[in-house]
Amino acid sequence: MKKVLMITTGGTVAGMNSAFGLIPTLVGERLKPSIDGIEVTALDLFSIDSTDIMPIHWRRLYNTITESLPDYDGVVVLHGTDTMAYTGAVLAFTLETDKPVILTGSMLAPDADDSDAKQNIETAVRIAAEGEYKGVHLSFAGRIINGGDIVKVSSSEKDAFRSYSGFVPKKKYRFPARNGLFPAVVRLTPFTYGLDIMAIAQDRAGIVMETYGAGGIPDNEITLVLSELSKTMPVIITTSCLGGTDLGRYEVGRRALDTGAVDADKRSTECAAVEMWLSTNQ
The model's pLDDT over 145-203, given as tens digits with 9 standing for 90+, comes to 999 999 999 999 999 999 999 999 999 999 998 889 999 999 999 999 999 999 999 99
CB atoms within 10 A of CB 100: 25
Residue-level pLDDT at 74: 98
CB atoms within 10 A of CB 114: 6
- The candidate with the shortest Cα–Cα distance to 101, out of 66, 130, 137, is 137
Q: Which candidate in 82, 246, 258, 265 is catalytic?
A: 82
Report yes or no: 204 and 233 within 8 Å, Cβ to Cβ.
yes
What pLDDT digit, counting tens, does each position of 244-259 carry? 999 999 999 999 999 9
Q: Which candidate in 44, 97, 173, 250 is catalytic?
A: 250
* CATH number of the domain residue 250 falls in: 3.40.50.40
Q: Containing domain of residue 190, as a range?
A: 184-279
Residues 205 and 102 in one domain: no
CB atoms within 10 A of CB 248: 11
Catalytic status, residue 164: no
Catalytic status, residue 12: yes
Residue-level pLDDT at 24: 86
Cα angle value 164/77/72 (rounded, 5°): 120
Residues 159 and 227 in one domain: no
* Helix, strand, coil percentages, rounded to 5, for the chain: 30, 25, 45
Q: Which candidate in 152, 192, 212, 280 is catalytic?
A: 152
Catalytic status, residue 81: yes
Query: Could you report the average pLDDT of every consecutive run of 10 residues in the chain (282 residues)?
Result: 97 83 84 97 96 97 98 98 98 97 97 95 98 97 98 97 97 93 97 95 97 97 97 97 98 98 98 98 94
Residues 271 and 148 in one domain: no
Residues 264 and 158 in one domain: no
Domain count of the fold of the chain: 2
Residue 251 included in any domain? yes
Residue 169 included in any domain? no
Distance (Å, rounded) from C-alpha 160 to C-alpha 228?
39
Residues 131 and 41 in one domain: yes
